[in-house]
Amino acid sequence: MLELESVTKRFGGLTAVKDVSLRAQAGEILGIIGPNGAGKTTLFNVISGFYAPDGGHVRLDGRDISGLAPHHVCGLGLTRTFQLVKPFGNLSVLDNVMIGALTRLRAVGAAREEARRVIATCRLEAFADSRARSLPIGLRKRLEVARALATRPRLLLLDEVMSGLNATELVEMIGILRRLHADGLGLIVIEHIMAAMMRLAQRIVVLHHGEKIAEGRPDEISRDPRVVDAYLGEEFVLADA
């Protein structure tokens, strides 16, 4: 359903994303990995409308969405989360999620109901009335997912929602994402935690210096010599996956 065709994004002399093409099928979990600075988040920013690409096209269900404003892209069913979470800090968790739900629903009451359902899906019931800024990082990551889900996306872009989680939270998050996938939601996941990625993703795209260097099933990726080279000297070891 999502198709990137030779997408390029430059910042002055730096080409952050170079000629990247990829496809994500409806309901698929696609992983995007790569060392720091590989251009993963920039790619998300281009897909979700925060940056207009300098070259190439982003298509959603065949429609060219390159350069559309993020709120417009969200309206078409594609939403993202932020690596550095951006909760509405002074509002309650419920209000945070409800603001997401109001994108599809006109009535505040209906949106609040919807928000409660989404909060339950993400196991945040106990914190519904807490101020978002009072949550620890693990729960803020989950709030980030809940809020995006409330906009009823068909494709959700998750930017490192598993980093910074402890072991229990990580298991919970993977459980939540698996359930969403089972319900038919498409996910594109940027992650640094290789073990989680290997378990979750059906297909993985590897970025390095802004270019796509490999694409394939997790087991193929972990054996790919170019990928191993790219990660050489990095803190994570693929063999652990």
Partner 1 sequence: MRHDLPAIVLFGAAALTPLVIRDGFLLDGLVLILLWGAVSGAWNVAGGYAGQVSLGHSAFFGLGAYSAALLATRFHRSPWLGLLVGALLATVAGLIIGYLSNRLKGPYFGLATIAFSQVLLIVASRWRGFTSGSEGIPVPFRPGFWTLGFSSKVPWVYLILALAVGIYLVARYLETSRPGYQLAGVREDEDAAEALGIPCRRLKVAAIAASAALTSVCGGLWAQYVGFVDPFYVFSVDLSIRFALNSIIGGIGTAVGPFVGSLLITSLETYLRATFSDFKAGLIGIYLIIYGCLLIVVVRFVPQGLVGWLGERLRAVGRYARA
Task: Assess 100 for contact with partner 1 (CB under 8 A).
Answer: yes
Select 103 or 202, whichever has its Cβ closest to partner 1: 103
Of the residues 2, 15, 82, 201, which one makes contact with partner 1 according to CB under 8 A: 82
Is 67 among the residues that bind partner 1 (CB under 8 A)? no
Residue 111 touching partner 1 (CB under 8 A): yes
Using CB under 8 A as the binding criterion, the count of chain residues that bind partner 1 stands at 32
Among 6, 71, 166, 179, binds partner 1 (CB under 8 A): 71
Count CA within 13 A, CB hemisphere, residue 24: 27
HSE-CB of 27 using CA atoms within 13 angstroms: 4
Per-residue x/- track, 135-174, partner 1 (CB under 8 A): ------------xx-xx-----------------------
Find the part of the chain contacting partner 1 (CB under 8 A) among 25-33, 93-101, 185-193, 219-227.
93-101
